[in-house]
């Protein structure tokens, strides 16, 4: 998705819309790595000779397994996008403000879109805050069916791993 600086210099700025693919997505669902779908982007850019402000909305779908109970989660994310691009030498304040320094008249926005999407993906991938997860001992989903196993309290991430091991044991 390209930003054409001269188009953004129009009095009303310009619209930039399109889709951006997310590379290197895993082929299957795993507990800690979300699969991110194509990103639909709708931006508005306004520029003067030196600076271009680019903002708007992005939407995408993420699919993953709950890190605790391993149920499938499908989420639609709506992510705001806001970047300032600057041509020429940056001032100290601009460096502090994390503006993007550019030299071309056509700027590929895909890397910035992808970065904003990655930053917006929830860090703890659980189906709900109070998900109690699978029982590491008997492998049951304790959200649906609490069991009476005596289980030492584990880190939730280890718990999902322990549950996987239980599943593997059962499969053998």
Asked if 113 contacts 82 with a C-beta cutoff of 8 angstroms, the reply is no
Give me the phi and psi of 116, to 5 degrees please: -65, -35
Nearer Cβ to Zn ion, position 115 or 168?
168
Task: In whole angstroms, give the CA distance from residue 51 to residue 70.
Answer: 46
Pattern of binders to Zn ion over 81-120, x per CB under 5 A?
----------------------------------------
Query: CA nearest 54: which of 67, 69, 44?
Result: 44
68 binds Zn ion (CB under 5 A): yes
Q: How many residues bind Zn ion (CB under 5 A)?
A: 10
Residue closer to Zn ion (CB basis): 39 or 134:
134
151 contact partners, CB below 8 Å, separation of at least 6: 135, 136, 137
Residue 65 is a binding residue for Zn ion (CB under 5 A): no
> What Rg do the C-alpha atoms of the chain give, in angstroms?
22
How near is the Cβ of 25 to Zn ion at its closest, in Å? 22
Residue 82 or 157 having the CB closest to Zn ion: 157
Select the residue interacting with Zn ion from 36, 41, 58, 69 (CB under 5 A).
69
Length of the chain in terms of residues written: 172
Give the residue carrying structure tokens 């009303």: 12
Q: Which of residues 125-164 bind Zn ion (CB under 5 A)?
A: 127, 131, 135, 137-138, 147, 149
Q: Which is nearer to Zn ion, 3 or 126 (CB)?
A: 126
> 108 near 114, Cβ under 8 Å?
no
Site residues (vs Zn ion, CB under 5 A): 66, 68-69, 127, 131, 135, 137-138, 147, 149
């Amino acid at each position: 998705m390209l930003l054409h600086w001269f188009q953004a210099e129009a009095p009303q700025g310009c619209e930039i819309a399109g889709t951006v693919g997310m590379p290197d997505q895993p082929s299957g669902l795993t507990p800690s790595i979300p699969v991110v779908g194509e990103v639909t982007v709708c931006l508005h850019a306004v520029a003067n000779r030196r600076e271009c402000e680019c903002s708007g909305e992005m939407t995408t779908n993420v699919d993953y397994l709950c890190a605790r109970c391993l149920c499938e989660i499908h989420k639609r994310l709506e992510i705001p996008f806001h970047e300032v691009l600057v041509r020429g030498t940056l001032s100290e304040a601009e460096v502090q403000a994390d503006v993007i320094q550019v030299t071309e008249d056509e700027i590929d926005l895909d890397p910035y879109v992808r970065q904003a999407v990655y930053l917006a993906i929830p860090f703890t991938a659980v189906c709900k805050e109070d998900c109690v997860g699978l029982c590491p001992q008997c492998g049951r989903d304790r959200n649906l069916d609490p069991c009476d196993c005596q289980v030492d309290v584990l880190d939730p991430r280890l718990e999902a791993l322990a549950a996987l091991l239980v599943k593997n044991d059962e499969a053998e």
